[in-house]
Structure 1
Amino acid sequence: LKMSWFWLYLPLHLLMAPCLCHSIKAPTTSSQQSFKTDLFNFYHSLILADGKETTIHLLKDIPKRYYFVLEEGRVLVPFSITVTPCDVPIEWSILVYKSPPAKATPGDHNTQEVSKSQKASSMVSTIFNYKGNSVETYMGMSSHSALYLLEFLSTERDTHITVYLTTDTTSRHLYPELPMDPRIDVIGIGHTTVTLTWKHSPSVLQHRDSIQYCLLVNEKHNYKSLCAAETAIRSSGMKLPPTLALSLSPYLLEPQQVMILSNSELSIINKVSSGEVRQVCMGTKNTYTVPNLSPSTQYYFDVFIVNLLTNASAAYTGTFARTLEEPEPKVTELKDGKVVHVVLDGKKQKFYSLQYQARHKKIHFTFQLCRGQMRVHITRNGKTVASENLSGLRYFSLKGKLLDTYLVQLRSTEESNSSVKVQASPHFHKPLFPLLPESLKIKSFSKLRTCRSVTIAWLGTQEESKYCVYRKRIEEDQVWRELQSADRCSGPESRHKSEKVLCKYFYDLNLQRAVTTETIKGLEAGTLYLFDVYLFGPSGIPVRYHSKAVKTRKKC
């Protein structure tokens, strides 16, 4: 740049207010080069770079000034300045200093000094000022004989901002472009989901490989820039994922804090004292359904269009939505000894509540998980006494007072169907379900397999019980589906009569010897069979062992 006029004029205005109180005589020709060098070395950091985003840290109530001059030799130069507050509202302004006339005519020395001061004062003007926390861009045309000063001030607390100056208005911009309508539309609201859509950025259509959308979800408020979102999350004590730590590159995360969902989609969820903050980047998709939200909760949604090459971003106009209230679950009364079969579809109905009023001090709850995954939560007079995921057969023995009220809440933990059988009884010595062995697994013996028979074994108990064995011929590609869809609460009444192999009674007072075996004959060679064992207790209600798939030998 040819800025000889700048070095002569800068000492006069470098730290001056809009109105000058006195004048400074310009250096002589002999000392001009040395003066320019010293001045550049001292004020080098205050010159705003062209075409580069600059991060500026501001101290409370202390103004900070940056300068820039534009290329000489052109009458008018277009330029733009974009300022992004990263936290609290700030004040910033642009002042322009016009260069003085080339030379004063000879005359009285005092008259020349007064004339200089008056001219200098009249050549300073404020062309733009702003106060707030929104991203603001000023666009203008510059004369080659003008010096610009940017002044920034934070009156609330220490903060930082980013500033981007460019004079190249024809080439690709640093910031991605927003559409003409930058609003986010809410097109669907559920109990735990919100579906959003927004218009495509022109940058996505032009540079699909280097542009992506990122969505920020929180329960506090909207953010006007990705820079502001970073600051808010970091100040809450959370660490930022790399995709969110864009404009402040020194703050990077450990890679294990990012959970990859697919090649173009990642998500991170962080818990903070104020609630949950999520960031999801979904490539160039402009419709997204936010899952796993809490019912009856207001959420704020912000979409940022991010340039992956420059790490610069632009913010859509944020929106908010409140999820629907969760309908009150129907409460069913539990009666002594009566079994209630609860079925949840995992989508329309995920919760079920049962209430029981104790007529004895000691109460026994029994849960038999039939299908799927389910969690149980038991409260006594409003206080939690048990909470865990169910598996197989589970007993809870609770001691309280007469007329205590127990509330049993069941929740499906997967989207497929789940079911469970529930019983409450004060008489544990007469349980509805049979005494169970240590394991409900069925074992097969590979060495005892033949082309026509299979030998299986299972554990028994110290209580004499009835065991019935069933078999079913299946294809190899059906094994996983059969095991997943099996209803562990269903009894032999659901089986075809032809599948029944035998029934036997068995027990042993020595648990180490409470094992029984059975050889099933009359099978076909090279065929896969599914074997089931049902255990019947005194009440007649069966418990199904885990199914076992065994294939007979093809050649013997």
Structure 2
Amino acid sequence: MNLWCLYLAVAAVSSLHSLYALAPENEVPLLPTAWLKEGKVTPVHLAKGRTHRLFFTLQKKTLTVTVSPCSVTIDWSLIVHSLKNKPPRNPQSGSHRKSIPEVWWGGLGAESMVHTYTGNAVDTYTGPAYEPSSMYIVTLRSTEQDTQVTVYLHAGPGAAGSFPELPSDPAVSVLGVGMTSVTLSWAPSPSITRTSPQSGTVYKYCVLVNHNHNYRSLCAANEEIRKALEGDKKREQKYKQGKHLVLPNLKAGRWQHWDIFEDYDSSAMTRSDRYKDNFKGCVCREAESVCTISDLLPDTQYYFDVFLIDSINATSVAYTGTLAHTHEVAQQAVSHLMEERVQRVALRAGSQDLRHFRFRPRGRHQNGLLTLQCCNARCKAKVSIFNRGRLLFSKEVGNQLAQIWLEGAPSYLIRLQALEGVPASKLDLETSRVRLKLQVSSAYHRTPPLLPPTLRLKSFNKLRSCSSVTLAWMGTEQRDLYCLYHRRIADHNKHNSTDYCLGPQARPATEQILCKYFQELEPRRAVTTAVIRGLDPGVLYVFDVYLMRRWGLPIKYHSKTVRTRREC
């Protein structure tokens, strides 16, 4: 009995404390309040089937709300909750800790629907403001899937200056179509034509090119890129979990065109130096209404979109996009590369002279090794590799020998283009040609062959005599054959340029000194030497070393010029 009395006493004291605990100063908001800031693009993530609300108040006479769906159809509405009595200036003063929306909802007033919209296009509402004691609510909802939306609020007399203005005819026109390029034109924006450079507002035109479709907003393009990056990341993780393959440079150059958008929408655009070859962009540097997009694929349909971006307000508008189909490459312009056959190519420097080659690897692995080198001095070329209209790899090639590993495709289109060459005179067009040598082989199934860490030859002055020279060069971990050649040169010819692609098969047998196999499993110790005897005193010799492989082009080391001693 005494136990029951003690229990009732404790319960009474607890009830008394509970009454104090229900005091108004301990009240908290039911839901967190999301305020919509004026004059700023607000990104919103919409979960499927859930309504997202943004609140704002207004002291001016007009307002403009712009909602930009990024992918799928959404429902959005603008609701006004007006109070009969003006709420206190500081709703949190006194003993009540209520959120501002709770103050509006707790008072007497009327709620009205101002605007509703359903769709996936950019929608803008502009109208007069209600009483200053009104609460505005923007509701957003997606019923299809999770998506992204951007919301922009402008308060005041009109939205001039908040968003760039489109011309009366916002259509993008195609001025010219080539085999690998398309030239576009569009009417200038009135925002640019009437704005002086000293005003501080900076407008940029940015052009998006892709294989899929046109986009109604920059937000929609950003969402597509974000999904592509996520898909690429998942594929990379899946690839890392599988067997390890050496894929040098196959993913270089991807996404490099999308750096132009990073300053304007950093919340949706992620910097990356790889992926996505389906997208290309004109660099957003000047407010020019003409743009030529190069490095396109022949006989391919592309979609073009133009976005005008205000870098001050971080807003943008989209022109009406267009599409174009690049011209087809003549069948005779595509040559088939034969297995392990050396192909020599001559291109005119500083022109649109392109050469296309088709290669189909043998065997079920569908792997291959492309080896190419620029033969003449001070020249530079570009190689691009495609598969079914998709760019796999692009690289500039100079005098150094380049190896490109091909994997996972039944067919490859190889495009060569001369970037620059030796300055040519009008009388001698041959000196302006960029000469290359290339070869493909399907013999490598797993990894490409190793290259020495350096292709320089070293001579030892202390070991140099009147009739002998000692040379050293780096090798690899693989067992390869190295052949050494030499020839005499006159003093006035020692600076003459040579053919970088000159192979050992073109050298006279009298110039060959030796051929030997070499292998060292420790890369830092992979050094081999050779002593060349029987030389004449005081004579200038040029020594060349070739790394001979069963498949692929011979790798030529840098030539080494050494003069034997005159007196011993």
Q: Give TM class, smaller chain.
A: 0.5 to 0.7
Show the counterpart of 2:118: 131
Contact 1:376/1:408 (8 A) holds in 2: no
Assess, with a 3 A threshold, how the Cα gap between structure 1 residues 531 and 169 changes in structure 2: closer, same or farther.
Answer: farther
Contact 1:86/1:228 (8 A) holds in 2: yes
Are 2:79 and 1:87 aligned? no
Counterpart code for 2:279: V
1:411-445 CA-to-partner distances (Å, cap 9, x unmatched) read 53654522449999xxxxxxxxxxxxxx9988778
Q: In structure 1, the residue corresponding to 2:502 is in which secondary structure? A: coil
Assess, with a 3 A threshold, how the Cα gap between structure 1 residues 510 and 455 changes in structure 2: closer, same or farther.
Answer: closer
TM-score, structure 2 normalization: 0.52
The counterpart of 2:416, out of the listed 393, 412, 416, is 412
1:216-231 aligned at under 5 Å gives the runs: 216-231=208-223
Counterpart code for 2:126: M
Assess, with a 3 A threshold, how the Cα gap between structure 1 residues 445 and 221 changes in structure 2: closer, same or farther.
Answer: same
1:480-518 CA-to-partner distances (Å, cap 9, x unmatched) read xx46x767379999xxxxxxxx99666568897673575
Assess, with a 3 A threshold, how the Cα gap between structure 1 residues 289 and 167 changes in structure 2: closer, same or farther.
Answer: same
What is the rounded CA distance, in whole Å, between the counterparts of 1:457 and 1:59 in structure 2? 73
What is the rounded CA distance, in whole Å, between the counterparts of 1:367 and 1:101 in structure 2? 81
What is the rounded CA distance, in whole Å, between the counterparts of 2:119 and 2:165 in structure 1? 22
What is the rounded CA distance, in whole Å, between the counterparts of 2:545 and 2:330 in structure 1? 39
Cα shift at 1:133:
1.5
Q: In structure 1, the residue corresponding to 2:331 is in which secondary structure? A: coil
Are 2:148 and 1:160 aligned? yes
Show the counterpart of 2:308: 305
Assess, with a 3 A threshold, how the Cα gap between structure 1 residues 446 and 518 changes in structure 2: closer, same or farther.
Answer: same
What is the rounded CA distance, in whole Å, between the counterparts of 2:483 and 2:112 in structure 1? 101
Contact 1:444/1:456 (8 A) holds in 2: yes
Query: Higher strand proportion, which one?
Result: 1
Cα shift at 1:216:
2.9
What is the rounded CA distance, in whole Å, between the counterparts of 2:55 and 2:489 in structure 1? 88
Q: In structure 2, the residue corresponding to 1:326 is in which secondary structure? A: coil
Are 2:355 and 1:350 aligned? yes
Show the counterpart of 1:270: 275
Show the counterpart of 2:450: none
Are 2:304 and 1:320 aligned? no
1:201-350 aligned at under 5 Å gives the runs: 201=189, 202-203=191-192, 205-206=196-197, 210-236=202-228, 237=230, 244=261, 253=270, 257=271, 269-271=274-276, 276-279=278-281, 281-286=283-288, 287-329=290-332, 342-345=345-348, 347-350=352-355
Cα shift at 1:329:
4.0
Q: In structure 1, the residue corresponding to 2:279 is in which secondary structure? A: strand
What is the rounded CA distance, in whole Å, between the counterparts of 2:167 and 2:358 in structure 1? 49
Contact 1:98/1:124 (8 A) holds in 2: yes
Q: In structure 2, the residue corresponding to 1:231 is in which secondary structure? A: helix
Assess, with a 3 A threshold, how the Cα gap between structure 1 residues 282 and 505 changes in structure 2: closer, same or farther.
Answer: closer
Contact 1:375/1:410 (8 A) holds in 2: yes
Q: In structure 2, the residue corresponding to 1:293 is in which secondary structure? A: coil
Which structure: larger Rg?
Answer: 1
What is the rounded CA distance, in whole Å, between the counterparts of 2:419 and 2:217 in structure 1? 36
Assess, with a 3 A threshold, how the Cα gap between structure 1 residues 293 and 513 changes in structure 2: closer, same or farther.
Answer: same
1:160-201 CA-to-partner distances (Å, cap 9, x unmatched) read 322222223479734344444433333333333333344444
Contact 1:176/1:306 (8 A) holds in 2: yes
Show the counterpart of 1:488: 502
What is the rounded CA distance, in whole Å, between the counterparts of 2:359 and 2:142 in structure 1? 58
Contact 1:92/1:131 (8 A) holds in 2: yes
1:60-112 CA-to-partner distances (Å, cap 9, x unmatched) read 3444454555328xxxx12211111122111223455677799xxxxxxxxxx
1:353-392 aligned at under 5 Å gives the runs: 370-371=375-376
Assess, with a 3 A threshold, how the Cα gap between structure 1 residues 376 and 135 changes in structure 2: closer, same or farther.
Answer: closer
What is the rounded CA distance, in whole Å, between the counterparts of 1:188 and 1:312 in structure 2? 30
1:184-221 CA-to-partner distances (Å, cap 9, x unmatched) read 33333333333334444425754567444433332212
What is the rounded CA distance, in whole Å, between the counterparts of 1:43 and 1:408 in structure 2? 58
What is the rounded CA distance, in whole Å, between the counterparts of 1:79 and 1:367 in structure 2? 63
Unmatched 5+ stretches in structure 1: 1-33, 103-119, 259-267, 356-365, 378-388, 395-406, 425-438, 494-501, 524-529, 536-542
What is the rounded CA distance, in whole Å, between the counterparts of 1:40 and 1:155 in structure 2? 31
Counterpart code for 1:316: Y
Assess, with a 3 A threshold, how the Cα gap between structure 1 residues 408 and 393 changes in structure 2: closer, same or farther.
Answer: farther
Query: Cα RMSD between the aligned structures?
Result: 6.2
What is the rounded CA distance, in whole Å, between the counterparts of 1:46 and 1:205 in structure 2? 37
Cα shift at 1:128:
3.6
Assess, with a 3 A threshold, how the Cα gap between structure 1 residues 508 and 301 changes in structure 2: closer, same or farther.
Answer: closer
Assess, with a 3 A threshold, how the Cα gap between structure 1 residues 507 and 319 changes in structure 2: closer, same or farther.
Answer: same
What is the rounded CA distance, in whole Å, between the counterparts of 2:490 and 2:179 in structure 1? 44
Q: In structure 2, the residue corresponding to 1:350 is in which secondary structure? A: strand
Contact 1:218/1:276 (8 A) holds in 2: yes
What is the rounded CA distance, in whole Å, between the counterparts of 1:288 and 1:551 in structure 2? 57
What is the rounded CA distance, in whole Å, between the counterparts of 1:184 and 1:393 in structure 2? 43
Contact 2:470/2:531 (8 A) holds in 1: no
Contact 1:448/1:454 (8 A) holds in 2: no
Counterpart code for 2:68: T
What is the rounded CA distance, in whole Å, between the counterparts of 1:340 and 1:320 in structure 2? 37
What is the rounded CA distance, in whole Å, between the counterparts of 2:152 and 2:384 in structure 1? 56
Contact 1:92/1:129 (8 A) holds in 2: yes
Counterpart code for 2:356: F
Contact 1:303/1:318 (8 A) holds in 2: yes
Counterpart code for 1:515: I
Contact 2:357/2:413 (8 A) holds in 1: yes
